[in-house]
Structures are given as C-alpha cells and as structure tokens.
Amino acid sequence: MEKVVGILALQGDFKEHFDILAKLGVGAIPVRLPEDLAQIDRLIIPGGESTTIGKLLVTSKLLQPIRERILAGMPVWGTCAGAILLARRVIGGIRGQMHIGAMDITARRNAFGRQLDSFEANVAMKKAAETPIPAIFIRAPVFERPGKDVEILARLPDERIVAARQKNILVTAFHPELAGSTQLHRYFLNS
C-alpha cells in the first residue's frame, strides 16, 4: 500500500515540497484542517516562519492533533521552520512561541546571523543519501543538545548539527526542496 503523504500548508514553502513529490510521481494532501490529518500516514512540515506557522497551528486547531499523531508514531519531517516547530527546546524564539515540541533536541533559530543569512552547501547525510545533497540554508537554525534517542545525520564542516532523527521524527535545518533534489524525499518516503 502506498502511504499517503500530507504537507502542512498553512504558510511557507509547501508548494516546493509538492513539486518534489510530483517529480517522484507521488501525490500529497495539503493539511490545513484537523480532518485532513485523518487521511494521511506521514507529514512534511515546510520551511517558512516558525512563529507564524506556530500561531496558525493553534488557530487551525492542528497543534495538539499533530502532536498526538507524532507521539503515536506517524513519520514526520520538518525542514527549517518545520524543524524548529518539532524541537522540544528553542533558543531565540519569541515569547510564547508555539511549537509541537516532539523531538528531544534544541533548535537555535537564525544560527548563521546576518552576514550569512542564506547560503548553499552540499551536505553529506549519513544513511539518507549516498552522495552529498545540495541544500539551501535560509535564516536556518542549527540543532544542539540532542537527547540520547537522537541520531545525528549531518553536520557542517564546523561540526554544527544540521540534520537529525529521533525514531519517526526527521529534522533538517536546510531546504532540499529548494535545491530541486529528490534524495531526502525518497529517504523520508521509505522511512
């Protein structure tokens, strides 16, 4: 059975995720309402602005149902802002920032500062891809203080963590979907 992929489509670059899945011949469902969740087996949370997506998750009544599905084992992948939303701890968030908080890791927002607020790099990913994948970082976070169940999948040459996994939860600080690469989407679909 094909698994049904949902893409959270409240704000941010969800369209690019649909486009990459289409390249792989995989359709996906936009998730905007609690009832959309009943139709999906896995979820992608895109990049965008984590504070805005967090607020919209609350007003759409999606925050708690998504958290419960993840805790029940639904595979989920957060790219950039999506990753921040999945982290249990956030450094540099705004007061009262809402997040799903399912993964035992700290996301440091906007970790690359003004000078380097956007850049492209080839990232070597443990397990997920045989060759380094092109990745775009836009006001990206880095991950810190991984809990004992967290596996580090990628670091930058300076050792900072930019991809990690905890069981059913995958986070990447960057956007593979903006670089047109399908490798990580394939990895997520097979996870």
Annotated binding residues for L-glutamine, as ranges?
Answer: 48-50, 109, 138-139
In angstroms, give the least distance from the CB of 163 to ligand GLN.
14
159 is catalytic: no
- Identity of the residue, 92 or 147, whose beta carbon is nearer to ligand GLN in the bound complex: 92
Does the active-site annotation cover 175? yes
Q: Which residue has the tokens 């896995």?
A: 42
The verdict on 48 binding ligand GLN (CB under 6 A) reads yes
Q: Which residue's CB is nearer to ligand GLN, number 55 or number 109?
A: 109
Residue placing its CB nearer to ligand GLN in the complex, 101 or 167:
101
Does the footprint of ligand GLN cover residue 81 (CB under 6 A)? yes
Cα 67 from Cα 99, distance rounded (Å): 9
Q: Is 50 in the site for ligand GLN (CB under 6 A)?
A: yes
Check residue 89 for interaction with ligand GLN (CB under 6 A): no
User: Which candidate in 16, 80, 99, 185 is catalytic?
Assistant: 80
**How near is the Cβ of 79 to ligand GLN at its closest, in Å?**
7
Q: Return the range that interacts with ligand GLN (CB under 6 A); candidates 32-40, 47-55, 127-135, 152-160.
A: 47-55
Cβ contacts of 130 within 8 Å, gap of 6 or more: none
Selected binder of ligand GLN within 10, 80, 105, 142 (CB under 6 A): 80
Alpha-carbon span 104 to 146, nearest angstrom: 6
CA angle 47, 53, 55 (to 5 degrees): 165
State the binding string over 108-147 for ligand GLN (x if CB under 6 A, else -).
-xx---------------------------xx--------
Q: Which residues are catalytic?
A: 80, 175, 177
Binding site for ligand GLN (CB under 6 A): 47-50, 80-81, 84, 109-110, 138-139
